[in-house]
Structure formats: C-alpha cells, structure tokens
A and B are shown apart, each in its own frame.
Chain A
Amino acid sequence: MKRVVITGIGVVSALGNNAADFWRALSSGESGIGPITKVDPANLRFKNAAEVRGFDPGEHFDDKSLMWLDPFAYFGIVAAREAVADSGIEFNDALRGRTGVVTGSCLGGKETEDKLYADLYGENKARFPPTSIPRVMSNAVASHVAMEHGLTGAAFTLSTACSSANHAIGQAFWLVRQGTLDAAITGGSEAPLSLGHLRGWEAMRVVAQDTCRPFSKDRTGMILGEGGAMFVIENLEHAQARGAKIYAEIAGFGMSADAHHLTMPLASGAAKAMSEALTDGNIDPAQIGYINAHGTATQANDVMESAAIRLVFGEHADSIPVSSTKSMHGHALGAAGAIEAAATVLGMHNGLLPPNINFNEDDPECNINVIKNKALPAEPEAAMSNSFAFGGLNAVLAFKRF
C-alpha cells in the first residue's frame, strides 16, 4: 500500500476565490455569510447565504466554453486549475494515464435546471439550448477536468448529499493508495442557490434567519453556501521524486450508513464512520488533535455529532479542539467536505486551527471542546474532517501532519 499526500489545493468559496484568500479569511474568523443576491429572496423565510462573491466566470472561460458550464461546474474547474498549478505537477503521457478525477456534487447543474424549467412551465418556451443536458449532469466537473488536463485514468462523480465530497476524496485516496492510480484530482463543488432549491430548504425549516452558530446553545439552523475545493493527491514516492511541496498526508477514510432515517441522524452511525477512518489509517484516537466537524448548526446534527465524538474518543474528547467552519463558509452541501478538508489541511500546515465563529453560549448537550470564535495555534499530529449526509450516509477523512 502506498502513502498518499496532498500536494495542491484550490478553493472557490464565500471566504475567497483562491486558497490563499480562503485561508486568510478562515484563519481570521471572517464570516462569508450575507444577504442572498443571486435570486430575489423577498418571499423566502430566510434571506442569508454564503455566496461566492467577485467571481467573474468570464475571467476564466471564453463565451463558447461557458455555454457548457453551470456555476457548479466552473467553481469546480477553477478550483482544480488552482490545485494543479499549486502542486507544480507536470503531466506527461504516462502520468496522464495514471491520473484520475473523482468529484462530488449533491445537485449537479441545479441553477441551469431551475432556469430551464421556469422558461418551460412559466414562459411556455418550447426550446431548450442544446447544451442543457451536459450542463446539468452531475459528472460535468469530472469530465471537464479530465479533458482540460488530458487525464485518462479513472474518473467519476459521487453524489451522497452533504457527504459527496468526502466520499469522492475517500475513493480517490483509496485508488492511489492501492496503486490503481499514481495521482488524482479530487474534491467537490456545488451551486445550490437557485430559487427552486431554496424553496425546498425553506420547507424543511432548518435554515437560520441570521447566521450559522454551530454548537452554540442559541443556534437556530444552517446557512447554505456555494463554491468548490479541489486537491491534487499523489503517492508519496511520486511527490518526493519530483520535489513537491506536501501539505499533509491523507491517512484514513471511513464510511457508514445509519440505516435509520432520512433526516434524523444517528450518533452510532457517525461514530462508526469516525472509528472506521481511524482503523483504516492505523491511527490511535489519542493522535487526533483537531476535528473539523460537520457542525451544520441544526438542533439535531450538533447534539448527535457531539455524542458521536464522545462515543469514539471518550475523555480524550476534552482535549480535542473542534470547529465547524460552516460558521464562516456556510454549508456547501456536496462541496462541504472538500472546502472543510481544505480548512483542515491548511490549518495543520500552518499550525493554526480555524475557529468556530458566531459562538455565544455553551450547550450542555454539545459536550465537546469548541474552538470559540478565534483561531487556535496548535500542531496536531493528526486531524479528522466529518461529513454526515441526509439519508444517514457518513464519510470521514483522517489526515496526518507531514
């Protein structure tokens, strides 16, 4: 089995449209949450989201290319370009054949679909643009990234709601670890801020009016976010042979299903995924020195996740700093795991753990060690990033400092 390392990071998010801006905002505890501008929220019961700002797709793509791209696709493609450039990897024909692309997306091209259906049912328009289907398909990002960089290894897309990106990164990690691939571009992207989709969230009554306050007693729900994050991962020998900068090692990956309820999460299911990630990476629980929580700030998730962390770590949980960076970049659904993996790995690399902002009051039902409002200098030996999806599908990544 090969060791697998992260050598390139790219991010597009409400906290910044490249990894450097993202890290600067994240580590200073800035909020990317603000009024929804992409659609008119006048008749919605919530008005705030974590939107990507100042992103001009025309700076990255010509008009002909943009015809093929939903926002979820250009977020992912731009993040992948940054990750490739950041890694310094140079693809020759042999390496292209040994490099794969594994992406996550919950929704695919929902913005495109929403607009098409508004035209169809609202305006009685009879014709769709010929690029409609390829814009909407969830695997568009994997396909575009493979084409752009000429990568002919395994390429596919995972869709497991809010765990999509973690499932994707986990599969890419295993493919490189077992030697099927030498390298992969992996992560997730999402553009969920279409009116039709927001209506669905409104009906679930889990979105906060003001902001996202994970693990704080006065939390009132989640805030939706958008964007994407991508990584270049490769086996250690390959990275070292070309003198690559290494951010962290991907050490373990764990998955589980609650087999319980579509929307009520189960602590034992989440705990099982965390334990599986530790076992998979041969990591002792005492080595974990940071957890980037799923931390949606819903009543149900945060109590469940705190209990799950206790189940896995027992008393050691007292000394594990935990933050949900969704408090800053929102819940980007199928991109969440990727953006949070970037937060985790950049935190380990920089010796500064990102904070859980908007925290006002301890909740006795969330008995964990939250990094309250301000980044925490620390150099954890290993860290974990949790994703738990509607439908009870859990995926947890474990990283080691390198």
Chain B
Amino acid sequence: MADGSVSERVIRVFAQFKKVEPEEIRLETTFEELGFDSLDGLNLIFELEEEFDVVVPDDKVQSMKSVAEVVEGIEQLVADKEQQPAA
C-alpha cells in the first residue's frame, strides 16, 4: 500500500496528470476548472484504477466530476475491495 490517505493519493494522481504541484489541486476543484474534456476524465480514471487497483464501473464515472467526488468514489471502491475475502 502506497503512503498517504486516499485523498492525498488522489490529489497526487491529479497533480501528475495535470503536471502541476499537488498544492494547486484542491478538493473542491471541478473537472471543468481543470479544463478536462471527457477523454481527460477517462484517462484520469484509468490512472486512478492503476494507483488503487480498483475497477471504476461505467455508471460511477458519470458521478465523478470534481476532485472531492473522485475521492469519495475511490474511498468507497477501496472499502468495498477490503471487505471482500482474499481470493
């Protein structure tokens, strides 16, 4: 498991994706403010799936339009994953 809380790690992924310092990414920042088009959003979700080893369902992608919404969604998916018995 990588260092940091889910929100810190999500912000790090955003910062790397946008090539900016993590300090410039706030929780309330929206995709629109980041100048994301739909493909940027999909690429970011792909990076997050890699970082957290989770699968983001298609319908969940629609509800991820800000950093805070992404953190909330990923926290839920990580929690779901940890509840599952190891295969």
**Which positions in A face B, CB cutoff 8 Å?**
45, 203-205, 209, 220-221, 263-264
Contacts and interface: CB of A to CB of B under 8 A. Distances in A.
A264 B38 contact: yes
Contacts of B55: 45
Nearest to A202: B58
A90 B37 CA distance: 55
Contacts of B61: 205
A52 to B, nearest CB: 26
* B interface residue count range (under 10 / 10 to 19 / 20 to 34 / 35 or more): under 10
B46 A203 contact: yes
B58 A45 contact: yes
A205 B58 contact: yes
A263 B57 CA distance: 21
Residue from the set B38, B46, B55 with the largest chain A CB neighbour count within 10 Å: B38
Nearest to B38: A264
B39 interface: yes
A45 B39 CA distance: 18
Interface string B24-52: 00000000000001110010001000000
Given A205-B42, A264-B38, 11 more contacts: A45-B55, A45-B58, A203-B42, A204-B42, A205-B58, A205-B61, A209-B58, A221-B58, A263-B38, A263-B39, A264-B37
A209 B57 CA distance: 10
A394 to B, nearest CB: 20
A209 B39 CA distance: 20
A280 B39 CA distance: 36
Contacts of A264: 37-38
A362 to B, nearest CB: 21
A231 B37 CA distance: 41
B65 to A, nearest CB: 14
A391 to B, nearest CB: 14
Contacts of B42: 203-205
16 contacts: A45-B55, A45-B57, A45-B58, A203-B42, A203-B46, A204-B42, A205-B42, A205-B58, A205-B61, A209-B58, A220-B58, A221-B58, A263-B38, A263-B39, A264-B37, A264-B38
Nearest to A207: B58
Contacts of B39: 263
Contacts of A209: 58
A326 to B, nearest CB: 19
Question: Which 5 A-B residue pairings sit nearest by Cβ, starting from the closest?
Answer: A205-B58, A205-B61, A205-B42, A203-B46, A45-B58
Nearest to B61: A205
A402 B49 CA distance: 55
Nearest to A205: B58
